[in-house]
Amino acid sequence: MNMGRLKLQSFVKTIEEEPEEPEITSSNKAAISCMINSEIGAVLAIMRRNVRWGGRYMSGDDQLEHSLIQSMKALRKQVFMWQQQWYNISPILYLQPFLDVIRSDETGASITSVALSSVYKILVLDVLDINTENIEDAMHSVVDAVTSCRFEVTDPASEEVVLTKILQVLLACMESKASVVLSNQHVCTIVNTCFRIVHQATTKGELLYRMAVHTMRELVRCIFSHLPKVEGLEDFVANRVSVKSEIGSLDNEFNFSVKQLSNGNSNSECDGQLPSGNFGTTAPTSMNADVVDENGGGSGKESRPYDLHVMTEPYGVPSMFEIFHFLCSLLVVDHIGISPRSNGMAIDEDAPLFALGLINSAIELGGASFLRHPSLLNLIQDELFRNLMLFGLSPSPLILSMVCSIALNLYHHLRMELKLQLEAFFSCVILRLAQSRYGASYQQQEAAMEALVDFCRQKTFMVEMYANLDCDITCSNVFEDLANLLSKSAFPVNSPLSSMHILALDGLIAVIQGMAERIGNGSHGSEQAPVSLEEYAPFWMVKCDNYSDPNHWVPYVRRRKYIKRRLMIGADHFNRDPKKGLEFLQGTHLLPDKLDPQSVACFFRYTAGLDKNLVGDFLGNHDEFCVQVLHEFAQTFDFQDMNLDIALRLFLETFRLPGESQKIQRVLEAFAERYYEQSSLILANKDVAFILSYSLIMLNTDLHNVQVKKKMTEDDFIRNNRRINGGEDLPREYLLELYHSICKNEIRTTPEQGAGFAEMNPSRWIDLMHKCKKTAPYIVTDSRAYLDHDMFAIMSGPTIAAISVVFDHAEQEDVYRTCIDGFLAVAKISACHHLEDVLDDLVVSLCKFTTLLNPSSIEEPVLAFGDDMKARMATVTVFTIANRYGNYIRAGWRNILDCILRLHKLGLLPARVASDAADDSELTSDPGQGKPLTNSLSASHLPSMGTPRRSSGLMGRFSQLLSLETEEPRSQPTEQQLAAHQRTLQTIQKCHIDTIFTESKFLQAESLLQLARALIWAAGRPQKGAGSPEDEDTAVFCLELLIAITLNNRDRIVLLWQGVYEHIANIVQSTVMPCALVEKAVFGLLRICQRLLPYKENLADELLKSLQLVLKLDARVADAYCEQVTQEVTRLVKANSTHIRSQMGWRTITSLLSVTARHPEASEPGFDALVFIMSEGAHMQPSNFILCVDAARQFAESRVGQSDRSIRALDLMAGSVGCLVKWVHQTKEAGEDAVKMSQDIGEMWLRLVQALRKVCLDQREEVRNHAVSSLQKCLTEVDEVHHAHTLWLQCFDMVIFTMLDDLLEIAQGHSQKDYRNMEGTLTFAVKLLPKVFLQLLPELSQLTTFCKLWLGVLSRMEKYMKVKIRGKKSEKLQNLVLELLKKTLVEMKNRGVLVQRSALGGDSLWELTWLHVNNISPSLQSEIYPSAEVDGNNNATPPEPVVSEG
């Protein structure tokens, strides 16, 4: 047979294949012979000391010596004579004499002790191994001899020595290389013998007892360390079942029993023989009997012996099974509860501790190998775990700790097969004992909490609890309950912080850190879509295709959890209104639109939290649908092989049995029908099950109702149930068993409603074992964060609260660090799974601990902060989170900024946190953008106009500390103060606050937006009146930070711009006096424009439009900053002129420049910018031409500064004509838009000359004259620009004539003081008129309106001829006018424009001309037109005027 034994053949083969050891040399062989010889001598010597063995001589041929001595002497002769190799010598030859001495009941304790020592020496010196001749018989003989050792007891000490030697030899047998040849029977015998010695030792010396216990542990270690090498058990299990009925009680050597002995020691036996009876524990065994009986053939009957053949095979699973079962049976107790009713366990906890220790050792060594052996696994699943559940409630913390250690080992090795057992252990043991409300002592609570923390330190424990139990509708929410327990247990409610709180915190943080470590190992957590049910499917039948593939089981468990949650909500609705509850479940597709009995029954069966009274009323209702639901409900139970009372208990635990007899009858009929289907061994039909069930309910009421005085007896119960089994009586033993079960344990017909964690009882355990057969496979998770998002969402709130409270109450640095680790882990998980609300809550909690948000009532807050380790650690943690996980902070930015502002007010921030944050980016410009921009807005360029700020920065605070103002002379700070201040500075350095803003370009859009909004919120609304300096300082600082992040996020300026602009606009428009805030706002705005214009051309208009805010400044504010603003605008123009393309943008720029024209300090840089734009038309564009001309006019008219600047401005205006010429050439090449462009150029030219006309009226002579010259240049040097005739007519009317008229008026109406040397200006002006007129004469003469134009020219000459300057006519001017007029008339004559066409007076041009000319100089006509010419030309026909004006 090959049934569950060691792989002996392969083991032997392995040894044979090893490199052969050197042959035993003759010297080694001799050494062994000498050793055996010396042992023989030792035994003979001790025997001779005894008179009995000293020397026996008998008459005749009888032996002269005792057979024991003779065999020793014979061995002594042979030991040196053996020639073959030592391993070819049968060990029986040299062991047998010693074994005979051990077996003999004639030898005393001292002789037996020496013989045992000799055998021990032979075993431990490796004389024997698996290749030794006849090793099996030798090993069996040793075990048989030692376990049946007999000797005479002379004194207790010698007896203890012998027992100690026996332990040594038996252990040596198991530790020997040859131990693999021992049979199952012999191994069991060894263990049984050692256990008997353990039991005996309890009445003997302490040393023997400890030696015996140690030996038992070593034996178990040796035996179960072989389990991984044992072959499979399939044949063994099948065979074992078949032979149970054939094999009776075998030899007691290997049949373990736990019967109580009447006499537990051998001192009364005269010969000192080890009793052949088997010893058990002193613990009562009635609980075990009850469980076995109730189980109806459960694991209690597993102790039946194997057949003799199996037990004689080399040892393996059969012996291990018997030993393990025996160890489990040592744990049987009468009653163990949280409140010990007797102090039996309290007095003697050694026995259960001993058994638990051996069991733990076996599990540690066997490990996962138990999974390959169903019989051993079944023992663990049922009997061991059942006893662990009972012992787990022991009042002894030692026992509880050992139970928890075993449970942890079982979880580690065998959790795949212990799903429901683990659920029961946590629900009924850990969760009950870890809370004081269930009556547990502090020691129990601490032991349970320690165990729970150990479990939490297993990386996958909580994930697997969640996946396997919380996501299973038939299981409790163990993960949720454990997480809540840890959170609540960490709360020090109205009490100082204790070790229990720290322990719970450790567990909580272990869970959190496990989640944090899984981040980055691959996760589907953040990618998983929310679960929803689109259509109805039976929720109790949801299955998974593959429980080992995360792609299958992750969606499966998430779907199950969703269903479970919806069922809980449905239960809540049902408890308020059953009808609405069912309708709600129909709406969520958990019940079909048309209700069917099965779905409602499964809702009642598998949903936790239902009101059991309502369920009972529904099931007991006579309505047909309710009756169908009742029968379907009963079908959900598994009563296979269950006793009737157990089945009835389980059935009635799920609802409250209605009080009406008819309802009770309906309920019990459904129960009886289902019970009979599955357990019909004794009952004749289902009616028997119904009657008996009803009878049990009546018995239960009778026995446990205090109002019933006369209780039903056994005979009464049996008599009441006569002849109900198809006319026959049920077996008396069966009925008595039912009676006593009800008597001892009441059936509760009103189950507790949500009373917390139920205590495990036999019926529930049996139900659990039935469920184990049907439950879904255990899901083993790996190191990836599949479910962490869902889990963390459940526990994050309580976790943050718990860690915060502990951190608040803690006083030790190691506790602080533990809490900080927890905070950082929470932050990491929140960020990874995009739980922004959780991260915000964490930040809010942490900011409270920084003490920075507290009202400043402390005299020296900087020193207080330096002395407060908790505050410093919290501060560093807050900013660590802000720097690492800022992407996922939302509302929390406000709290972080509050901390930053507080540090700023205390002067603890570096002086230029915000400035540095923005300036850093200036040093790195994009390639191709030219040289980097210099920081034009640094403190060196911009002295503050507002209130001087108090000293800030790290050194500033330090200097304040060194000069603390007191009434007495200044004292030096103490060493403690200096150390505290140094700690403060180091803390701030660790925070890297500036990184938040310099690295803001990496923040996600939403987080960045929230940061900007928080800055605006923290700055507060600007006040029109004078606010406090502190408020202003805060607003300035916030504005600096806002500008910094704006500059650092130029690629996302669209996101921020609206808020930034509105904030700056509020400041600008509400400020009426110069101050630091408006200064920072204005120059910050300019700085943003400077920096962003090169990169954001699509936003150029928006950016430049924002500069119009500067124009809205209050006059006092504008005046204070005008020069600096102009300098900045100048820099902006010089750096970005190529990026300003729109008219709107240029309008803003030129408006700002124009404003400066009349400002003493600002006009110079303003004009410098204008020169940059207009010089040689470098940056002139059609979009800015008119605007620049107008700005130049403002500077030309401005009397600020020297006249030279006005003249330069006029030169710029005159020089701009070149741009028009250039554009005309470009227009000719453009083609399509030429007409429109020509019109635009004409309009620009007209605006230019109009602007010059205005300057021609300037009071300053040189400016006035230069303006006229410039105007003449603009009018005469545009030959290449072909303006429309109408445009020239407009020019004469609006520019030339108007200028001449205005100058004339000024000359006649103003004093010489106001306008010096007007004569010279008039001279320049009047020269301009005929020059322009004659240049345009060929074109203008063709116009129908030419006559009108010409008369206008004549009228102006006439006026200038007659003008009086300072009361008298100007001779110079008169001569000039005559000369110009004559020249004009001659030119007109030569061009044939002015000729007489008709003698009849029809020639209006001719007549009107001479009419005006005669008024000026009557002789001119005769000079230009002598009579001959006049007459000769009278008949000449002049050309007809052209009608068209274009």
CA-wise closest residue to 925 among 1141, 1102, 1139, 1095? 1095
Alpha carbon distances (Å) from 84 to 80, 95, 427: 11, 17, 67
Residue ranges of the alpha helices (H) in 49-108?
67-78, 91-103
Please list the residues that pair with 314 across neighbouring strands.
183
Sign of CA dihedral 967, 973, 976, 982: positive
Q: Tokens 């149930």 map to which residue?
A: 721
Whole-angstrom distance, CA of residue 1410 vs CA of residue 1416: 10
Q: Residue 925: left (phi > 0), alpha (psi -120 to 50), or beta? A: beta
Whole-angstrom distance, CA of residue 1016 vs CA of residue 1020: 7
Whole-angstrom distance, CA of residue 1172 vs CA of residue 1066: 33
The interaxial angle of helices 1163-1174 and 1143-1155, nearest 10 deg, is 140
CA-wise closest residue to 804 among 794, 789, 818, 791? 818
Q: Exposure string (b/e) for 809-835, b if CB count within 10 Å is 16 or more?
A: bbeeeebbebbbbbbbbbbbbbbbbeb
SS3 107: coil
The interaxial angle of helices 1115-1136 and 1163-1174, nearest 10 deg, is 30
Q: Residue 528: left (phi > 0), alpha (psi -120 to 50), or beta? A: beta
Alpha carbon distances (Å) from 361 to 349, 397, 852: 18, 19, 55
Verify whether residue 660 is a known catalytic residue: yes
- What are residue 1368's phi and psi, to 5 degrees? -140, 155
**What is the maximum span of the chain, computed from C-alpha positions, in angstroms?**
208
Q: Give Cβ neighbours of residue 171 (< 8 Å, ≥ 6 apart).
A: 215, 218, 219, 222
SS3 384: helix
Count of other CB atoms within 10 angstroms of residue 1162: 26
Please list the residues that pair with 230 across neighbouring strands.
6
CA-wise closest residue to 1042 among 1072, 1013, 999, 1001? 1013
CA 1014 to chain centre: 23
Please list the residues that pair with 108 across neighbouring strands.
152
Q: Give Cβ neighbours of residue 591 (< 8 Å, ≥ 6 apart).
A: 536, 582, 585, 599, 600, 603
Whole-angstrom distance, CA of residue 1062 vs CA of residue 1275: 47
Helix (H) or strand (E) holding 1369: strand 1368-1369
Choose, from 23, 234, 660, 1243, the residue flagged as catalytic: 660
DSSP state of 922: G
Alpha carbon distances (Å) from 476 to 370, 473, 495: 27, 8, 31
Query: Three-state SS across 856-899?
Result: CCCCCHHHHHHHCHHHHHHHHHHHHHHHHHHHHCCCHHHHHHHH
Within 13 Å and on the Cβ side, how many CA atoms surround 524? 13
Whole-angstrom distance, CA of residue 690 vs CA of residue 634: 13
Residues tagged active-site = 660
